[in-house]
Structure 1
Amino acid sequence: MRGEPTCPKCGGRVRAPGLFSDSWQCAVHGAVQPLQPVIPPSVEALGVVVHRAQVPVWMPWPLPLGWLFTGVAAAGDDRSGGRATAVACSGPGPLGGVGELLLIAEELGVGLGARYAGIDGPDPGAYIDMSSPPHTKVVAAGRPTPLWHLKGVPDDRAVFAGEARGIWLWAIAWPEQSGLLLYDELVLTDMRDLGAEVEMMPCGALSPRLLSP
């Protein structure tokens, strides 16, 4: 899936840094962290993103029974490194059928998670009340991490968000019923912390969710 970098907020074309700007520019959103072209899932593709990432690369690990790694995306350029990452996996849904899960880690203002969530961004703050009790918790890098369920998202998905390692963590599940996965003590590992185990990653076909939120 070769191509040019795009805007993480809208998917539109971006202009590379030049004489008049030292950042990537979207005609709609101004300066952005460019979303790099998505490539088919493989251990090698995951390794490239992990090596460049300045934010966590979250993965349910070990993967739930029957689940596969189905793609990875990253926003950021060669100078800044990955400032947002999105990892897709899919497998048997908790209520039957096929479930898909997208995990996004991003710095403030990048907007990639909001785009995949199907909401106005760039961040989830307007959609959650972090002063209220969380709706669920996951274990991220060994730490209990509260997540809040977002309202006002498209009906075909369930969206949760919170903070892990000081930046936003989004968990987006399709169909909506697959959001039950987030109530099952899901354990997330930052792939940057994983060693040779990454070579055992079971890979499936590229998730269309990464290409068309």
Structure 2
Amino acid sequence: MIPLETLFLDLKDIKVIDSTIPYSQYTPLDLTASNLELNQLNISDSSQFETYIEQLLAKNKASVAYGGYNEIRNLYKRSTVFNDLNTEERNIHIGLDLWIKAGTSVLAALDGKVHSFQYNNNLGDYGPTIILEHQLENHIFYTLYGHLSLKSIASIKAGDFFAKGQQLATLGDASVNGDYSPHLHFQIIKDIKENFGDYPGVCSKNKLDYYLENCPDPNLLLKIY
């Protein structure tokens, strides 16, 4: 059977946010400790972080900031969702983030049906989340859309079909999205197991190999860079 990642290489014209924004208006964002600008602000304060994103976009004459796959971040230290006394710290991001203003349209990456959805209402969590189920040849796989608006999950139900490029949701603001600057967390999941409306988007170092295999780089689909 052809690997799923190989099938992704032949897919074209896939976007998961506002299709009118060309990739030429995207700019990379580094949220690792090597970004010294982050040391000068409190990134756990969503309003400060949103101002930082807005300034980055203006400086680069861009509409969207992107990045984060397999990125080690200090951003999660503020929340017990990622850190507790009994487990290894989870600080490696395994989705792709697309930073843009709240209310922006979120699109289905591919034809698919709603597998599940949920309001993951913890500090630093996804907030409203939708997971779509897809089939490509003999592969069943999933895409996760996190940090949505509450209205995005108000009237959908499991099994609802969305066509590639169809509006699935809109982005939420910090009051509902886990207290982040507005952005979409987009993730591919091969084996979702028993997860429902939620799936880890950040992992620990000792589980990284598993999650990199189970959650391929979303850029294989999006082809931003």
What range is the shorter-chain TM-score in? Answer: 0.3 to 0.5
Q: TM-score, normalised by structure 1?
A: 0.36
Answer 1 or 2: higher relative contact order, Cα 8 Å, separation at least 6: 2
Of Structure 1 and Structure 2, the greater strand share is in 1
Q: TM-score, normalised by structure 2?
A: 0.35
